[in-house]
Structure 1
Amino acid sequence: MSKRIVVLISGNGSNLQSLIDKTKSHEIPGTIVHVFSSKSTAYGLERAKAASIPTSVLSLKTYKDKHLTREDFNKDLSALVSDQKPDLVVLAGWMLILSESFVNQFRGKLINLHPSMPGDIEGANAIERAYQEFLSGKRTKTGVMVHYVIPEVDKGEPILFEKVDILPNDSLNDLETRIHTVEHKLISLAVAKVLSD
């Protein structure tokens, strides 16, 4: 029976597209059964719809507007994801920090893509931060990793990672493009690896 994959996104969904393509070509031994987005405007929703994958939007802002808490949001998201009976939950450009209760519920089958090497730049804006350090002469490399999610942000056990050079004449856009190319490859390889183990 095909493994069930749930993907959480917040934006363009280019990594989601890589996963869609690799599930269709059977390079990933599974099926994306649902895509959840934290933003109704995320282009990734269009990618999912084009591939006939069901989608849901759960916006933290909507919860805050109703005077509900972040924990309420996490609880509802957890229930919705759980309803999909996932074998693997993939954070592919999901831009919200998930609660400890959510992480613990899916621990061992919750993975995240992060544009940095293990133990290097943790948290948000990792590409921009690496580029700023490059401009100030502090680094010539960054990277991409896919790791298991634990309550501590970007500190879970790495599944796969790859260094990315920052070239002397790189603009931030050049670096982002190179990192995204590695991300698209690595996320699919990591999902295939986890589902095959």
Structure 2
Amino acid sequence: MADQQQSPCRILVMASGFGSNFQALIDAVAAGRIRNSKIIRLFVNRKNVQSIKRAEGAGIPWEYFNLISNGFIAKGEKDEQKVAEARHNYDAALAERILSAEEKPELIVLAGWMHVFSSGFLEPVEKAGIRVINLHPALPGEFDGAGAIERAYAALKAGKITRTGIMAHYVIQQVDRGAPILVEEIEWNGEELAELEEKIHSREHELIVKATAKVVDEILEKRA
């Protein structure tokens, strides 16, 4: 009865590639596994990615917004200060697009979003009360940033660790250091890198759904 009286929790998804985690979220919302929720929009920062087709197939509006194509920086720019300024300006403009929309999200899910946000995005979104969560293929405090699976594999092969894992966490300026929402350890049984990658990715779909459902529950309860 409570769900029937509340409007759906508004979710915005950001993706940069194939979008299998995005598809898992679409399916979970449709099946009611993420209760009383609606994916209101998809943002992509790469052209012609499969995520767009998934959005169109589900009737979800999408938007392409790119650092270079939208004129924030010239392709191939190497000056670190110019790059940092461009990224900050891009982030601020993206936040403005989201916050000025008629239908604003309550939750943003980064589902394979290959861009590290600066304060230009995170501060205005936080002030607006919007939560931002991310999926990362490593355990908290281990292998932050890009290439996490490859670095974990090297450590496994060297005998430095015996397991790796995945986590869903809140997004803060320190890359992959936000508070964990859900964490799952994954054993290594001597698999080669490609097998380990497949094993990890097969677990990610369920974790991102469970984590999103958990945060949506909290948002709905706070509303009530």
Q: TM-score, normalised by structure 2?
A: 0.83
1:41 maps to amino acid = N
Per-residue deviation, residues 157-193 of structure 1 (Å, max 9, x unmatched): 100010011221x121211111112110010001110
Return the offset for 1:27: 0.8
Return the offset for 1:146: 0.5
Q: What percentage of aligned pairs have identical amino acids? A: 41
Could you tell me which residue of structure 1 aligns to residue 88 of structure 2?
71
- Report the 3-state secondary structure (helix = DSSP H, G, I; strand = E; otherwise coil) of the residue aligned with 1:163: strand
Q: How does 1:96-107 map to 2 (within 5 A)?
A: 96-107=115-126
Between the two proteins, the alignment pairs up a number of residues equal to: 196
Q: Distance in 2 between matches of 1:65 and 1:51?
A: 34
User: Could you tell which deviates more after superposition, 1-10 or 106-115?
Assistant: 106-115
Could you tell me which residue of structure 1 aligns to residue 41 of structure 2?
34
Q: Distance in 1 between matches of 2:19 and 2:162?
A: 28
Q: Where in structure 2 are there 5+ consecutive unaligned residues?
A: 1-6, 78-84, 219-224
Per-residue deviation, residues 26-69 of structure 1 (Å, max 9, x unmatched): 11121111000110132111111111111111112223238882
Q: Where in structure 1 are there 5+ consecutive unaligned residues?
A: none
Q: TM-score, normalised by structure 1?
A: 0.94
Q: Distance in 2 between matches of 1:100 and 1:81?
A: 15
Could you tell me which residue of structure 2 aligns to residue 177 of structure 1?
198
Check the 8 A contact 1:6/1:81 in 2, yes or no. Answer: no
Check the 8 A contact 2:88/2:119 in 1, yes or no. Answer: no
User: Could you tell which deviates more after superposition, 78-87 or 113-122?
Assistant: 78-87
Q: Which has the larger radius of gyration?
A: 2
Check the 8 A contact 1:160/1:186 in 2, yes or no. Answer: yes
> Which aligned runs of 4 or more in structure 1 are off by greater than 6 angstroms?
none
Check the 8 A contact 1:13/1:47 in 2, yes or no. Answer: yes
Q: Distance in 1 between matches of 2:18 and 2:187?
A: 24
Q: Pick from 181, 205, 209: which aligns with 1:159?
A: 181
Structure 1 vs Structure 2 CA RMSD: 1.6
Could you tell me which residue of structure 2 aligns to residue 143 of structure 1?
165
Return the offset for 1:15: 0.5
